[in-house]
Structure 1
Amino acid sequence: MPFLPPWLWIVFTITAAAAQTLRNAAQRDLLDGVGAAGAAYVRFLYGLPFALLFLGVVVGLTGRHPTPIGSHALGWIFVGALAQVLATGLMLAAMRERSFVVTIAYTKTEPLQVALFGLVFLGDRLTGPTALSIFVATIGVLVLSWPGSGRIPSPKTSAGAVPAYRSPAILGLCAGACFAISAVGFRGAILALDGPTFLVAASTALVTGLLVQTLAILLHLGLTNRPLLRAIAAEWRPSLLAGFLGAFASQFWFLAFAVDSAARVRTLGLVEVIFAQMVSRRLFKQGASPRDAVGIAMIVTGAVILFRA
């Protein structure tokens, strides 16, 4: 890889985090019309055309074309693509149970889970500061999920109890785990592609991943839920915005993955918690309770320790 400015990944990551916050807000607005599953699907179905456009722009600017995708890279893409679809659905389901900003905070345990997956699957060693960051952020999640911390009313079962699998903490943490798997998968795919430039490799991985996701979603809905597919088509105007913002955010996440590790990128990506707080106050008129604020601060502190490890 040619010499790149050491701060380039920072620009890519902050841009991606800002766009992702806006995309999450756009998807949340679709919940009433197409439900959590439909809102999760639109970012992929409507994002693919924009990803193709971005790839065309990159090819035009660089004059370099994508290289053939080998089985190793394709395997990583499948892992990243399918984990991302599941993560998005879990995140939106959590938003039904808790405020926008707190849900984002739950999912932002992802950098810590990226580090853990790196240890399990790649043999990456955990340093003392890394272990400390995991401890601090985990305590922050416990603070956020502790009863009485400003939880909004949750749907009840016929027996009057909220099912455990619909707990916002469980949904959010599972979403974070799937996002972590997705980040590792896409980072592996970009490295395995070995494209002519990091711009082309990142854009090729994005298009391929979205193509896999789109085909899987269309096949699933075509076989099991055609009414939802029609509802998604009917909501094409707001879905276009979510698709564009999703593809735009992913483009910059992939560019960041191409030039630095997934753990560092996702750690810096915690600035999304701050962006989410701003969006929550301006668009949804939601705020975080003092306990939520403490939990969010601890998660961010843990991520900062990880970043400096």
Structure 2
Amino acid sequence: MELWVPITLFAAAMQTVRTGWQKALKTDMDDYAVTWARFGFALPLAPLYLVLLVASGLALPVVNSQFFTAAAIAGVLQIIATIMLVALFSRREFAVCTAFSKTEAVQVALLGSLFFGEDLSLLGMYGVALGGIGIALMLPRGGSWQTAAIGICSGTAFALTGLFVRQAIFALGDADPLAAAAMTLAVMLLLQTLLLGIVLCFRSGAPFRRLWQARGHALAVGVSGFLGSIGWATAFALTNPAYVKTLAQVELPLAYVLGRTVFREKLRPLEIIAMSICAIAAIVVAFV
């Protein structure tokens, strides 16, 4: 089993935890404030992680304009994707919201192949296609197509985020994958915290005061989000993002368990079958 596989599994677990905390935080504030918590409370961890890498003997990469451009685009796309995902929490069950956002697995394969020069093996194509079937079964039957559209657009933005993160890492040349991923994440977090922070300054309801009042939940969002992001960025540095995002569909059964045990949600049998198909697709891709 290649190194990117356990790293991706760790990232998926951390993302499930982060998304669960975001749903809990959503009860106290709006989508923008909940999204800022992911970036703002994670930002102090980025320089600490860079220091740890340097102390371990790794050299930090030399950045350039191509890197900054790709990292900035990835950062903005991730803001958009996260806001749309958080908006879904008031519309559907936690697990279903997660499933809609996971359309990124198919989208990252298509977009990566068409526009970013990423190749897929035959087995990888089968895995991604199987994941697409599972996601298709999640689409509403007589439900809200607006909700589905938001979820799929969120998946598109997440898919493009992953592809531009990989472009940013490529721009750093032959830098160590851990150092390149850490530098990319640090730049993204700084940009995201500043941009979304400016937006919050013009929103009503004293969002920063409310975030401070809910700092326990907000810190949990930030820490789990940071750990997950380090995992994603490192995995993107090691292999095709399509494989990473398809394997990441193991997050779906995790989301189902969290939805049942924490949020007391119930899913339709077809939704459970769809998540199982996505999990099988993840296993296929894990052994590409």
Using the size of structure 2 for normalisation, the TM-score is 0.90
Determine the C-alpha separation between the residues in 1 that align with 2:217 and 2:98: 21
Amino acid at match of 1:237: G
- Cα deviation for residue 228 of structure 1 reads 2.1
- Cα deviation for residue 302 of structure 1 reads 4.9
Q: Which residue of 1 aligns with 2:150?
A: 171
Amino acid at match of 1:269: A
Determine the C-alpha separation between the residues in 2 that align with 1:197 and 1:122: 21
Give the alignment partner of residue 235 of structure 1, picking from 181, 205, 214: 214
Q: Which residue of 2 aligns with 1:31?
A: 26
Distance 1:132 1:256, change over 3 A: closer
- Do the aligned residues in 2 keep the contact of 1:23 with 1:245 (CA within 8 Å)? yes
- Cα deviation for residue 114 of structure 1 reads 0.6
Determine the C-alpha separation between the residues in 1 that align with 2:283 and 2:68: 33
- Cα deviation for residue 196 of structure 1 reads 4.0
Amino acid at match of 1:281: R
Q: Which residue of 2 aligns with 1:43?
A: 38
- Cα deviation for residue 91 of structure 1 reads 1.0
Number of residue pairs aligned between Structure 1 and Structure 2 = 288
Give the alignment partner of residue 60 of structure 1, picking from 32, 55, 60: 55
Matches within 5 A, 1:1-309: 7-62=2-57, 64-124=58-118, 136-147=130-141, 165=146, 167=147, 169-194=148-173, 196-225=175-204, 227-302=206-281
- Cα deviation for residue 124 of structure 1 reads 4.2
**Bigger Cα displacement from structure 2, 126-135 vs 195-204:** 126-135
**Bigger Cα displacement from structure 2, 40-49 vs 286-295:** 286-295
- Do the aligned residues in 1 keep the contact of 2:127 with 2:281 (CA within 8 Å)? yes
**Bigger Cα displacement from structure 2, 114-123 vs 73-82:** 114-123
- Cα deviation for residue 264 of structure 1 reads 1.3
Using the size of structure 1 for normalisation, the TM-score is 0.84
Determine the C-alpha separation between the residues in 1 that align with 2:185 and 2:233: 7
Identity, in percent, stands at 29
Determine the C-alpha separation between the residues in 2 that align with 1:11 and 1:126: 20
Q: Which residue of 2 aligns with 1:157?
A: none
Amino acid at match of 2:14: A
**Bigger Cα displacement from structure 2, 132-141 vs 244-253:** 132-141
Amino acid at match of 1:44: F
Determine the C-alpha separation between the residues in 1 that align with 2:179 and 2:131: 35
- Cα deviation for residue 194 of structure 1 reads 2.8
Determine the C-alpha separation between the residues in 1 that align with 2:30 and 2:105: 28
Distance 1:270 1:257, change over 3 A: same
- Cα deviation for residue 130 of structure 1 reads 5.9
Q: In angstroms, what is the RMSD of aligned CA positions?
A: 2.4
Determine the C-alpha separation between the residues in 2 that align with 1:294 and 1:72: 43
Amino acid at match of 2:16: T
In the alignment, structure 2 segments of 5+ residues that lack a partner are none
Amino acid at match of 2:9: I
Distance 1:199 1:125, change over 3 A: closer
**Bigger Cα displacement from structure 2, 14-23 vs 123-132:** 123-132
**Bigger Cα displacement from structure 2, 261-270 vs 205-214:** 261-270
- Cα deviation for residue 308 of structure 1 reads 6.4
Determine the C-alpha separation between the residues in 2 that align with 1:127 and 1:50: 36
Determine the C-alpha separation between the residues in 1 that align with 2:282 and 2:103: 8
- Do the aligned residues in 2 keep the contact of 1:9 with 1:256 (CA within 8 Å)? yes
Determine the C-alpha separation between the residues in 2 that align with 1:128 and 1:260: 16
